Amino acid sequence: MKKIIILITLSIVLFACNSSEKNQSVEKLIASKDLKAITAKKNELQLQITQLEEAIATLDTNKVTEALVTAIQLKDTVFNHYLEVQGSINTNENVLIQPEFPGNLVELNVKAGQRVSKGQVLARTDDGGMSQQLASAENQYALAKTTFERQKNLWSQKIGSEIQFLQAQTQMISAQKGVAQIKAQIAKTVIRAPFSGTIDEVFVEKGEVVAASAQGLMRIVNLGNMYVSTSIPETYIGKLKIGTEVDVFLTSLGKTYKGKVRQIGNFINPNNRSFGIEVSVPNPENLLRPNQVAKLKVIDYVNKNAVVVPTNVVQQDGQKNTFVYTVINSNGKTGIAKKAIVKTGQSSDNVTEILSGLDANTIIVTEGMNTISDGMKLNF
């Protein structure tokens, strides 16, 4: 084998060194029109070509019988297959605060970045004179109540008529409802936090005349209840359930969070044949923000006792048999290559599930498998 390589190498070197001289000598012979000399040169070149062809042909009969490879021993492991989709971070607690009662903004108690609690007074609008109306209504109610109580006492003593008693009762109830109605209207001038969170932006100033608008008064956000929304192909309907674990990777943060499916849609979108899901995501560091892009790895298949191999070691022969190279008669440093026909399952994270053909504790070749053949001696 070494002699053949040396022979070919020397031939190439000599050919490269003398190519220009040979070209010149051949040109001179042709120019001389000496038929005998030209024939002799042709035979000389033909002999060199034949020798090189014979040397190359011997390469097929002098195959390498040993190879240096890397091998690992297989073992049972948990295999998870993932469906990878893209989604968007959302929160249900991200709202624009609107005034229920239009008017002059007489109080503004918060600023951007401030933490607030549920029910806290954020702002207040002018009530437009309803406080005076309330005072008048309360006086009317007090009078109606007094009249009713006196009429009730008289009626209990069988003094007066029943109709007088009922009229007094009706007037009192009507006055009471009037007071409650005005109080409800005045309560709408007070703008309170609908939930605990952070004031993200404030769009108005104290003293402005405000009303419900597309912009609103301010935005309040709570980052403690975040989730990812996305769409899943309808073929996965039977593979997902509430509580399924999901890896959520945030490209903007370079971090992966562990989430769980919290909601599965009941409607198939006819345009793309998919259904929506929501995945709850913890946010302990408050780094998640609404509308961030997330990459989801949804577990849709689990084999708790699987035999897996690196995907790159799986090969296919001319008969379209899927195989890997295993190692037999191994002493830890050497072994013999054996071609093992296998049946593969699903692939995920650069590993492939082996359904048949390999068992746990089998040693397989992981590097150098493209340079070996069945029966070859292997060195580790």
Asked whether residue 228 falls in the same domain as residue 284, the answer is: yes
Q: Is 189 found in the same domain as 158?
A: yes
CB atoms within 10 A of CB 288: 25
Range of the domain at 31: 2-60
Residue 50's pLDDT band (cuts 50, 70, 90): confident
Q: Provide the number of structural domains found in the chain.
A: 4
Q: What is the rounded distance in angstroms from the CA atom of residue 108 to the CA atom of residue 123?
A: 4
Which of residues 253, 274, 302 is at a domain's end?
A: 302
Selection from 192, 293, 302, 288 nearest residue 240 by Cα = 302
Q: How confident is the model at residue 56 (pLDDT cuts 50, 70, 90)?
A: low
The pLDDT-based confidence of 64 (bands split at 50, 70, 90) is: low
| β-pair type (255-264, 245-250) | antiparallel
Examine the pLDDT at 245 and tell me if it is beyond 50.
Answer: yes
Count of alpha carbons within 13 angstroms of residue 82, beta-carbon side: 16
Do 214 and 103 belong to one domain?
Answer: yes
The alpha carbon dihedral of 171, 172, 176, 182 has a sign of: positive
pLDDT given at position 55:
66
Residues 210 and 109 in one domain: yes
Chosen domain end from 202, 220, 238: 220
Q: Which residue has 């990878």 as its token pair?
A: 84
Residues 104, 9 share a domain: no
**Euclidean distance between CA atoms 241 and 238, whole angstroms:** 8
Asked if residue 329 and residue 239 are part of one domain, the reply reads no
Q: What is the pTM of this model?
A: 0.58
Residues 183 and 213 in one domain: yes
Together in a domain, 121 and 216: yes
Pair (198, 242) in one structural domain: no
The CATH number of whichever domain residue 359 belongs to comes to: 2.40.420.20
Reported residue count of the chain is 380
Q: What's 153's domain CATH number?
A: 2.40.50.100
**Statement to judge: residues 210 and 133 lie in one domain:** yes
For residues 232 and 147, state if they share a domain: no
Residue 29: pLDDT band (50, 70, 90) is: low
Ramachandran assignment for 47, one of left (phi > 0), alpha (psi -120 to 50 degrees), beta (any other): alpha
**How many helices and strands (H and E) does the chain possess?**
4, 23
> 40-49, 51-60, 316-325 — which is least confidently predicted?
51-60
Q: Which of 197, 220, 243 is the last residue of a domain?
A: 220
* Shared-domain flag, residues 284 and 249: yes
Percentage of residues in the chain having pLDDT higher than 90: 61
At 268 the pLDDT is 94
pLDDT of residue 39: 79
pLDDT at 182 over 80: yes
Q: 263-298, pLDDT tens digit by residue?
A: 999 999 999 999 999 999 999 888 999 999 999 998
Q: Is the pLDDT of residue 12 over 80?
A: no
Give me the CATH number covering residue 259: 2.40.30.170
